Structure 1
Amino acid sequence: MTRTGLALLVAAACSSRAPEFDGIGAWRFSRTTLKDITGGLCQPTEVNGQRYTWCFAQQPLKIAGSTAEVDLYFLGGEPSARLVEIQLKVRGCHEDQVDQWLRASFGPPIDSKSTRGYWKNSYLWVAAMLPSEPGRCLVRALPLSETAEIDRIKQM
């Protein structure tokens, strides 16, 4: 190996960052499409004149020691429809534990308010309502391409 090659290898190794998530659990904004959903129920829905497919009753996730119901939203109804939102409804939510899980998964929040936190990486944007109602937290993850919905959530 040449000195230049060795220097590049060392520089790359020293500058490596932790990988960034592009989804939550088994669902990835970069590759999950409607045809990948094999469990739960899916039905068409419309929001602000846009057609989506809402998939619910998915396999629950364990988040920060609590169970999270998973809802998925796909843009359109064809098998190739891409995933545009992951919602986690955390029952029996302990806000501090969910906040710690989010920080461990996505780093420090980019903004926070009394009961909300917002995270962002190169692939996705996350909003957490801690709590969204007594004993329940809501975590919403969207790809960065969903700017209109991200802006709408920020205004809530």
Structure 2
Amino acid sequence: MKSFSTVKGNVHITLDMSRFKRQFQRAQYQLDGAVMESMVPFMPMITGSFINTTRAASAAVQGSGVVYAAYGLQGRFLYEGKGMVDEQTGSPWARRGAKKVLVSQYGGKTRAKERLEYTRQAHPKAQAEWFEAAKKADEKAWIHLVKETAGGGKRG
């Protein structure tokens, strides 16, 4: 956003929009951080390394409008909550470089479960698709934060 100018008769108006650009950037940065923090209680956790990796990836792009809900090799299957197996062996523990497929797509026999069961010791609310759970819990707070920061007022 730059400036906006208009002339009507003898009246010349110039609006400097740079202030809004800074406000919008700050609002996006705060929103990205708030979304990440809201997701954490719904994310599965045993050692914390998955959450830390996801947090670091999101922090690297914070302010861009991108928030990683699940980062790293295990991210997809943890987020979707669907079991995956080595496409050749049917084992949840894949060989180095092996492609993993959903249990439901595996043609052979496997003891792997189609749906993941998360441990809830560290995070009692752990579940698949945790962004959706965080959004349901905190969407109004996110909107209020953005409105307040971007100039929508404290009423929102």
TM-score (norm 1): 0.22
Which structure shows the bigger proportion of residues in helix conformation?
2
Which structure shows the bigger proportion of residues in strand conformation?
1
- Structure having the higher Rg: 2
Report which structure shows greater RCO (CA 8 Å, sep ≥6): 2
